[in-house]
Amino acid sequence: MPRYFLEVCYKGTRYSGLQLQENAISIQFEVEKALNIIFRMPQAELGDPKGREGIKLFVSSRTDTGVHALQNFFHFDTDFVFIPKHIYNLNALLPGDIAVINIYNVADDAHCRFDAIAREYKYYTYQKKDPFLEDRAYYYPFKPEIDKLNELAGLLIGKADFSAFSKRKTKVKTFDCTIHQSIWVEENECLVYYVKGNRFLRGMVKGLVATMLKCAKTDDAAENFKAIIASKDCTQADFSAPSHGLFLVKVSYREGVMGLLVKTK
């Protein structure tokens, strides 16, 4: 059966996260519903995600409640043939805060999660009250030293055990992640943390942001931050950074995975 990658973007404010959940609205639920309407397939009720029929989506990078994405992917299998107008039809059915960007034909064994080689996030903070940033950035009314924050961010480069920045009850085989880039920058009146890595643990980016902001207030910031990393204890980290400041900005795949684009024009 042919397999497709579905590229989407969304504003996560109204949703309980990307993945299906019982008795809660998710990005996946809305996209599956739109697909099944177009192809006249059955759709499960909101409270019964496990019993759903029709087209079923598999997720690439899970995002939590309130987190946004400029790019994320699903994959699914179907015998239906996609044509360009289906992208328009999907967007007409989807709520205004979710959009389909593109659809790609891929190999039958391609997997949007396991074939991803890198993910990139940005976390936005702002220091001056701004009602237009309220649901898209973290209002942090302090002026941290960007040089000190970048000293801490630089300590994350490379492969390490990031248990300290993973929320509890996370079912993973390893807490090792490889961070390729980690830097704080000033961008359009915001202080932004940018990070790129091969994988991220549940709550990891928010944990890194809040912990760096907290450590930056101390005299021995680098030593304190190193101690938290080495502890491998999530109770030592700070996870208070709110979800609405976090954006998944890019998911990268090795060359050849994406296949043929179902073009919009």
Residue 263 contacts by C-beta under 8 Å, 6 or more apart in sequence? 84
Listing DSSP states for the chain in one string gives --EEEEEEEE-GGGSS-SS-BTTB--HHHHHHHHHHHHTT-----TT-GGG--SS--EESS---TT-EEEEEEEEEE-SSPP-THHHHHHHHHS-TTEEEEEEEEE-TT--TTTTEEEEEEEEEEESS--TTSTTTSEE--S---HHHHHHHHHTT-EEEE-GGGS-SS---S--EEEEEEEEEEEETTEEEEEEEES---TTHHHHHHHHHHHHTTSTTHHHHHHHHHHHT-GGGS---S-GGGEEEEEEEE-TTSS-EEE---
Instruction: Identify whether 64 is a catalytic site residue.
Output: yes
Rama region for 203: left / alpha / beta (φ>0; ψ in -120 to 50; rest): left
Say which of 48, 64, 109, 161 is annotated catalytic: 64
Give 90-93 contacts, CB < 8 A, sequence gap 24+: 90/31, 90/34, 90/35, 90/38, 93/33, 93/34, 93/37, 93/38
Report, as residue numbers or ranges, the catalytic residues. Answer: 64
